[in-house]
Structure 1
Amino acid sequence: MTMIAPMRTLGGQGLLVAGILLIASALRAPITGVAPMLGLIRESSGVSAAEAGILTTLPLLAFAAISPVAAIVGRRCGMERSLFGALLVIAAGIALRSSGPVWALFAGTATLGAGIAVANVLLPSLLKRDFPTRIASLTGAYAITSALAQALASVVAIPFALLPGSNWHLSLASTLIFPLVALMVWAPQLGMHPAPAIEPGSSSHRGRIWHSPLAWQVTGFLGLTSLVFYIIVGWLPAILVQAGYSAAAAGTLHGVSQLATAVPGLILGPMVRRMKDQRGIAIAVSLATCVSLLGLWQLPSLAMVWVALFGFGAGAAFILGLTFVSLRTAHSHQAAALSGMAQCLGYTLAAAGPPLAGLARDATGGWEVALVCCAVATALMAVLGNFAGRATTI
């Protein structure tokens, strides 16, 4: 039986969109704000370099572990309630992480990662259900919001921590603003769907998804995008420093790459709506990302060009991957099941990528192997995008 949701007024639709965008702002900022402060955290807490590195990997491991069950949570509790609960978990994780003890730093990081995983899976499903004709544009909008929030968190992390009377605990706690504001704006949505929407045969969606070639093609595209993105985001400053840039210049270029991920959200939505299918654009953004990686390898003196191109290409590929989750499925429950599958496998790859890239660097003394492997992965993305971009559904 399918529950009929109450009709939303124009103002209600606007509040829903605002809630979606604010949820998006809480999905990256609490993670990206940590990386600039790893040095301060190590100095004051005494954790080793390896332990500090775990802080950046823990959220990805949480994404991989929780994503498969997020669709089940959404079906049983309803998407509005599940997203509200996810925001509460994110806020609790940030508070725990900022409380002081070293164990709380790690436990809080894992906790907020679990909350982010649920929201990551359910947002594409929500768009499929409530905005079936605006999937591409709204996916682009929440990608922009997420990118701007993560860039802001990265930029202000160190200055905030160095303010008189402040420290890294307070700087980490400052990202609480994102889930708290989202909770306030999202609260009215709890009354819109008083019961979960159950569709015939919904319990079998997950099994069918895992046996669908198209689902594996979408999963592969999004998974490789995540793998390449997190390797480069994690190691780009080190790559640039080894290429001869100062730490300050490398940090600036890292920020440029993050800001560039927001640009595709401005143009990709209108383009996708006019396309019969998305094969061409999937191939184009994959190859653009490939060119940027080869450029960093062969011509690092033009790093500004390559990091901007990487941010644009990887950001566009990520938006396309999320759009595929909605466009390649027949209804919202199927979209949630595919989102869980794609993000589980994608973030498993992403969690393994940075450590493996670091091992390759230690073994060879340079970043050439990591960059070439990432370039090969983007070429595979183009192949998978050619299949995932077809105008068909599972």
Structure 2
Amino acid sequence: MEKIRQAPKGRSGIRAGAKAALTLIALTLVSINLRPAITTIAGSMGQLEEGLGVAAQTLPLLAALPVLAFGISAPCGPWLARRLGARKAVALAMLLLAVALTARVLVPALMLPGTFLAGMAIMTASVLLPQIVKANRGSGWWTGLCSMGFGLGAALGAGLIQPLQRVLGGNLAGALAVWAVPALLGAALILRQGGRARAPVETDVSAHASCSSAEGLPAGTPGRTRASRPLRQQATAWAVTAFFGLQAMLYFAVTSWLTVYLVSRGLTTGDAAALLAWYSVAGLPASLLAPVLASRPAILKVMAPGLGLLVAAALLGVLTGPAELQFLLVGVLGVAQSAGFGLAIALVVLRSSGPKAAGRLSAMSQGLGFALASLGPLGAALLHDLTGGWEATFWALAGEAGLLALAGYFAAKGPMVSVDARDVPAADAQPAVVGS
């Protein structure tokens, strides 16, 4: 009888483990789709005017537009998740991304609005990834694989844009539109993981918040527990937001203009695009390992400020190093910045008390953070135009990396972020998961 009782448990454990593994694979595939929409444009920036008829004066706006969309649309992820469930919300975002990637190249007039829509879709999915990881009680490896997926997608987008264009007979529009296919695959895979259609009704702002409100009801509103506090009153939430925003501003400034800078140093367009891809590839191990290492508090307290200083040193290395060493220097910069992004995602998970807190903190840090990050490409271009060179731009970015170190120090040191004393796992949680 004892063996009979244990058999169903064993089968149930295997099924739960398999479902958790498939959930992780689905999340990783989704994360891979969240950067090619940007890096394909960055990798073909010098060809857009001739290949797609994009006016030269709109190129800085095109570089900043998806990041601006990130900042505006961050609250929409939690809003959709409360109504559809996190998985269905992510699948819908992937479908919208596929539509945007196709429309913006098939209809030239839709390049700017299509890019903006792509940014909204990316942000909707991106905000929900930490929430799903937290709900599944995923380990640092979960966060690491998801953040590595971002880097892998960025590398594939930048590195394959030129080869795809050659395979398609010089068709730049086709090389850009082909990225709708993995977005559709991501939508299909995340839907197959099931889960309830919508999250359970909670006693706080969940049933009342709108897409335009990340904070929800003010303190004292009926339904809010006495133990809860708005995120805007929690210093750790602001430190995590600052860290996310500063690292994102650095990332988008670099990915938008690195190829242009390298061409100004004498590299060919193809070599510059290859180095942009290398910038992402070199950082893949770091984006995987950073969240794993950060799960140890002693390491986190050193890593969070230390990465900011490493990014500053790497930026100045790319600026002052000879062209022959750019492969090495760009690789170091990629490692530092990819680790910073992995740590930013990990901080949302590690510094929140539960899935609901992680969802709110993710929306706040990514929403406000990406709104700040939208200034990166525009600010870099403005400094370049004002000074006629890249020195002022790189020194300004290095100074910003110093602020990143400061934000990391306070994000790692502060108390946990909590929005509700009863922050229990959301509807997407699975019964058996990878240990934390």
Settle same-fold status: TM greater than 0.5.
yes
Q: Deviations over 1:276-323 (max 9, x none)?
A: 461201122111111111222333453233211111111111111111
- For 2:105, give the aligned amino acid: S
Matching of residues 229-248 of structure 1 within 5 Å: 229-248=251-270
Aligned partner of 1:193 in structure 2 is: 196
Query: Which of 55, 70, 77 is the equivalent residue of 2:77?
Result: 70
Higher relative helix content: 1
Q: Deviations over 1:244-279 (max 9, x none)?
A: 444444333222211122121343244223444612
Q: CA RMSD in A?
A: 2.2
Q: Which has the higher Rg, Structure 1 or Structure 2?
A: 2
Aligned partner of 2:327 in structure 1 is: 304
Query: Which of 226, 237, 244 is the equivalent residue of 2:248?
Result: 226
Matching of residues 101-140 of structure 1 within 5 Å: 101-132=107-138, 134=139, 136-140=140-144
Query: Which of 2, 7, 28 is the equivalent residue of 1:21?
Result: 28
Alignment partner of 1:370 is 2:393: yes
- For 1:65, give the aligned amino acid: I
Q: What SS is found at the alignment partner of 2:215?
A: helix
Matching of residues 1-394 of structure 1 within 5 Å: 9-99=16-106, 101-132=107-138, 134=139, 136-163=140-167, 167-189=171-193, 191-203=194-206, 206=215, 208-276=230-298, 278-301=300-323, 302-390=325-413, 392-394=415-417
Aligned partner of 2:427 in structure 1 is: none
The answer to whether the 8 A contact 1:202-1:333 is kept is no
Number of equivalences: 385
- For 2:364, give the aligned amino acid: M
Partner Cα distance (1:88, 1:23) in 2: 11
Q: What SS is found at the alignment partner of 1:9?
A: helix
TM-score, normalisation: structure 2: 0.82
Q: Deviations over 1:135-184 (max 9, x none)?
A: x2212111222222221222221222233556122111210121111122
- How has the CA–CA distance of structure 1 residues 222 and 300 changed in structure 2, closer, same or farther, with 3 Å as cutoff? farther
In structure 1, the gaps of 5 or more residues are 1-5
TM-score, normalisation: structure 1: 0.91
Which region of structure 1 is more displaced relative to structure 2, 327-336 or 50-59? 50-59
Q: Percent identity?
A: 29
Q: What SS is found at the alignment partner of 1:195?
A: coil
Which region of structure 1 is more displaced relative to structure 2, 20-29 or 70-79? 70-79
The answer to whether the 8 A contact 1:237-1:254 is kept is yes
The answer to whether the 8 A contact 1:139-1:265 is kept is no
- How has the CA–CA distance of structure 1 residues 173 and 393 changed in structure 2, closer, same or farther, with 3 Å as cutoff? same
Partner Cα distance (2:168, 2:381) in 1: 36
The answer to whether the 8 A contact 2:154-2:277 is kept is no
Q: What SS is found at the alignment partner of 1:278?
A: helix
Partner Cα distance (1:295, 1:113) in 2: 31
- 1:202 CA displacement: 4.3
Q: What SS is found at the alignment partner of 1:329?
A: coil
In structure 2, the gaps of 5 or more residues are 1-11, 217-229, 418-436
Partner Cα distance (1:232, 1:93) in 2: 24
- 1:218 CA displacement: 0.4
The answer to whether the 8 A contact 1:277-1:389 is kept is no
